[in-house]
């Protein structure tokens, strides 16, 4: 484990507008589980919502800072993680086409890419998403009661970074994060952890000098996080990234994982997050996401924080699917 401390993706964090709209889309339309309702530790007047599988396993976790009307719409572009891809079974593509159309989700026709069938669509803030149909993924989907288990999202397939070139970013992925090049198609180069290439691990670099640079805001990814199994492995990664001449933050306690952050040479913000302690740290698995959880240093301000946060409520009965 000391030789290969990165195991794939941990989570993807994006910016959003309406907290209720975000909850309705990710828990309702996509059927992911709200595994944690907490606050942005750097701006506690804003929710931090986490969605994933039953327990919030690494490689399944999509998280959001919904800033409401305080945030403008962003623009995807160079220097961003521009597309987030989820994994579904090959036989489920028709189901998802019908379901997304049922809820009037903007989407494109499915297309072939690198031996996979891809369905592109956008969330209510314009965040770029994909479903990748495949037979490689053996992870169970979340049994939410309104999407058939055989069609449930399994977790991430991977992420797509937009860059002007690939060489410098590849040097960090391959030289410091133990990723390896696995495939290429046109301007797309795919990477996965050394010795493994599975859904939930892929990082694609799509490079072009003809794109505009991205602008942060609602509908854009704030950062992507890689999964590491322990604090010791994280510190090893930190030393390797520092040795590459990049600025890396000290370890930060995020309650459910420990984190370090740095920008790769193309401008995308990377995080390396530990697998433990996990989302059952402060509530049992059966109750995940059911109550607002605050870090200990904010508990004294709970009344003030709750008064600032907009109330949100999920009604699963509204998302039963005739598809």
Q: DSSP letter string over 43-54? A: EEEEEEEEEESS
Of 251, 199, 203, nearest in space to 230 by CA: 251
* Chain segment 160-212, per-residue pLDDT in tens: 999 999 999 999 999 999 999 999 999 999 999 998 899 999 999 999 999 99
pLDDT band at 320 (very low <50, low <70, confident <90, very high): confident
pLDDT exceeds cutoff 50 at 15: yes
Residue 299 has which token pair? Answer: 């508990």
pLDDT on residue 195: 86
DSSP 142: P
Asked whether residue 3 carries a pLDDT value surpassing 70, the answer given is: no
Whole-model pTM: value is: 0.96
Q: Which of 190-199, 226-235, 271-280 has the lowest mean pLDDT?
A: 190-199
DSSP string, 24-44: IIIIIIS--EEEEEEEETTEE
Instruction: Report in angstroms the alpha-carbon separations of 80 from 1, 51, 178, 212, 269.
Output: 29, 21, 21, 11, 8
- The residue-averaged pLDDT of 98-115 equals 96
- Over 70: is that where the pLDDT of 30 sits? yes
Computed over every residue of the chain, the mean pLDDT equals 95
Q: Which pair of tokens denotes residue 12?
A: 């993807």
What's the mean pLDDT in 275-298? 96
C-alpha to C-alpha distance for 311 and 21, rounded to whole angstroms: 12
CA-to-CA distance for 231 and 237, rounded, in angstroms?
A: 10
Backbone angles phi, psi at 176, to 5 degrees: -125, -25
> What is residue 2's predicted lDDT score, i.e. its pLDDT?
47
pLDDT tens profile 294-319 = 999 999 999 999 999 999 999 998 99
What average pLDDT does this structure show over 222-242?
97
Task: Transcribe 243-265 into DSSP letters.
Answer: HTT---PPPEE-SSSEEEEEE-T
Q: From the CA atom positions of the chain, what is the Rg in Å?
A: 19
Give the pLDDT score at 1.
40
Domains of the chain as residue ranges with CATH: 8-319 (3.10.180.10)
Phi first, then psi: what are they for 35, rounded to 5°?
Answer: -95, -15
């Amino acid at each position: 484990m000391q030789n290969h401390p990165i195991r794939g993706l941990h989570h993807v964090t994006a910016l959003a507008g309406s907290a209720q709209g975000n909850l309705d889309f990710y828990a309702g339309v996509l059927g992911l589980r709200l595994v944690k309702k907490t606050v942005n530790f750097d701006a506690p007047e804003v929710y931090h919502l986490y969605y994933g599988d039953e327990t919030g396993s690494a490689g399944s976790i999509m998280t959001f800072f919904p800033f409401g009307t305080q945030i403008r719409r962003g623009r995807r572009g160079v220097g961003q993680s521009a597309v987030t891809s989820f994994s579904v079974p090959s036989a489920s593509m028709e189901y998802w086409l019908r379901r997304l159309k049922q809820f009037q989700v903007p989407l494109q026709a499915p297309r072939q890419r690198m031996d996979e069938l891809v369905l592109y669509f956008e969330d209510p803030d314009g965040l770029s998403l994909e479903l990748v149909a495949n037979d490689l993924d053996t992870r169970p989907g979340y049994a939410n009661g309104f999407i058939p288990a055989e069609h449930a999202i399994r977790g991430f397939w991977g992420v797509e970074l937009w860059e002007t070139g690939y060489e410098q970013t590849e040097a960090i992925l391959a030289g410091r994060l133990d990723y390896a090049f696995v495939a290429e198609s046109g301007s797309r180069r795919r990477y996965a952890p050394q010795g493994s290439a599975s859904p939930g691990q892929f990082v694609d670099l799509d490079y072009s000098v003809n794109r505009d640079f991205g602008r942060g805001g609602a509908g854009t990814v704030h950062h992507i996080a890689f999964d590491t199994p322990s604090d010791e492995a994280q510190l090893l990664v930190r030393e390797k990234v520092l040795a590459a001449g990049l600025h890396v933050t000290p370890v930060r306690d995020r309650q459910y994982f420990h984190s370090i952050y740095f920008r790769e040479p193309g401008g995308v913000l990377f995080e390396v997050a530990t697998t433990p302690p996990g989302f059952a740290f402060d509530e049992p698995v059966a109750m995940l996401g059911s109550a607002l959880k605050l870090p200990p240093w904010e508990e004294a301000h709970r009344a003030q924080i709750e008064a600032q946060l907009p109330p949100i409520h999920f009604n699963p009965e509204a998302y039963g699917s005739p598809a």
